[in-house]
Amino acid sequence: MEKIKWVNHASFIFEYKDVKLICDPWLEGAVFNDGWKHLVQSEFSYTDFSNITHIWFSHEHPDHFSPPNIKKIPPEIRANITVLYQVTQDKKVVSFCKQLGFKSVVELMPEIPYLLAKELTLINAPVGNERDSWLCIRTPNFTLLNLNDCAFEKTEKENLADLQKIKKQTGAVKIDILFTQFSYASWAGNKEDVAFRKKCAQHMCNQITWEIAVFNPSFVVPFASYVWFCHEDNFYMNDYPNKIDVIHDFIKSRGAQSVVLFPGDEWDMKSQFNSQFAIDRYLKCSTETVNQNNIIKKPLVTIDELKKSAKYYAQESLKLNHAPRLLQFNPFSFFLNDHQKAFSFSFKDGLKEISLVKDCCDISLSTQALKYCFDYLWGFDTLHISGRFQKPLNGNFLNFQEYQYLSTLNNQGGRIGNKFNSAIKRIKTIFVR
């Protein structure tokens, strides 16, 4: 009656009677400005969507909501699929899916049970300022909680309280199956900062420990980390992610059964599953895929192209927000590694070359990576997740982050007015270190 079919990364198909619900279908292609790729190839194809009745997206990040992939679903197949998405201020995902001609688009109200079919209920709620959301699937036989990459980055006491809140929101006495991220998924220190990457990896283990303690699941499915850092700017971050074999044993040591699924695998959600075959294949693919021969190299971007993008970014930001407030922003300094020059940017003075050594700049990165920030409102957030930058020793990264906070706020439909906007305080909580 019930079954899980594994797709890839954070995507799986949940089958219950006539319902076939796929979560976060990212099937192919590099994401986060060429920063991530799948560790293994997907078997699921675009024509396979003909068997799907519903798609649920957890949030807007392209490893969960991939517009290029979604557009490749044949129109006649899209016309038979219902999209499920959390209510958001900007309505971007909902509008995009409506324009593509899906059968219908349902906005899920936070914490309000949604009857998808007889004896099948969904509960969806945001975490982290609408950046992410979890999904609880309830049937008479079990309760499944998909946390995807919901992050818990406060103190242990606060994190446990947040998890207890989610448990209460699901209305479930017990979570039978927990899906959770298992390794770091954003900038994890400068190239030489090995200790910080180990700390980030350990934090994900701590998070799994807290989740098991609160939810007491019978099964834990580690997922949403089957990627590698595929660009020459961030390749170094492949040195200390949590490996799936270690995580599998770690979960078992915490008293839950670990279920590791490989693309194409199926599981009935109640029987013990032999994960070793999937683990062996992931480790083999990791060895074959994660190497210097497969990395993406940055294209050459001229200073004139960067100046044009910076001017556009300034003009659009000043239109969207209270201009006098933005003109008070401190400039941020940056060192362009491919041009070996330092510049600064502010809404008041624009982009200009400065005499500053690399170690004293606020950030160092490639010209293409910075241009992407100026070209798209989500660009700064993309840079943070791809990790395609370094923090010079004597710079002030907070100068750069003020622009990051602003763009993320604007991307979510928020604006800075002539009075202090508390939303920008909220946005700041989603960035770490």
Mean pLDDT for all residues in the chain: 95
pLDDT at 420 over 80: no
Fold of 2-294: Metallo-beta-lactamase; Chain A (3.60.15)
Confidence at residue 298, expressed as pLDDT on a 0 to 100 scale: 83
The answer to whether 325 touches 353, Cβ cutoff 8 Å, is no
Residue 427 pLDDT more than 90? no
227-249: pLDDT as tens digits: 999 999 999 999 999 999 999 99
> What value does the mean pLDDT take over residues 380-404?
97
Instruction: Give the pLDDT of residue 419.
Output: 67
CA distance 260 to 242: 14
Token match 């909501």: residue?
65
Own/partner long-range contacts of 284-289 (Cβ < 8 Å, ≥24 apart): 285/39, 285/40, 286/39, 286/228, 286/243, 289/37, 289/39, 289/40, 289/228
For residue 143, what is the enclosing H or E element? strand 143-146
Domain assignments of the chain as residue spans, ordered by start: 2-294, 303-428
pTM assigned to the model:
0.94
Residue 266 has pLDDT above 80, yes or no: yes
Tokens representing 85 are 């998405």
Judge residue 107's burial from the number of C-beta atoms within 10 Å of its C-beta, 0-12 exposed, 13-18 middle, 19 or more buried: middle
| Per-residue tokens: 371 | 């241009």
Please tell me the CATH code under which domain 303-428 is placed: 3.30.1050
| Helix (H/G/I), strand (E/B), else coil: 85 | strand
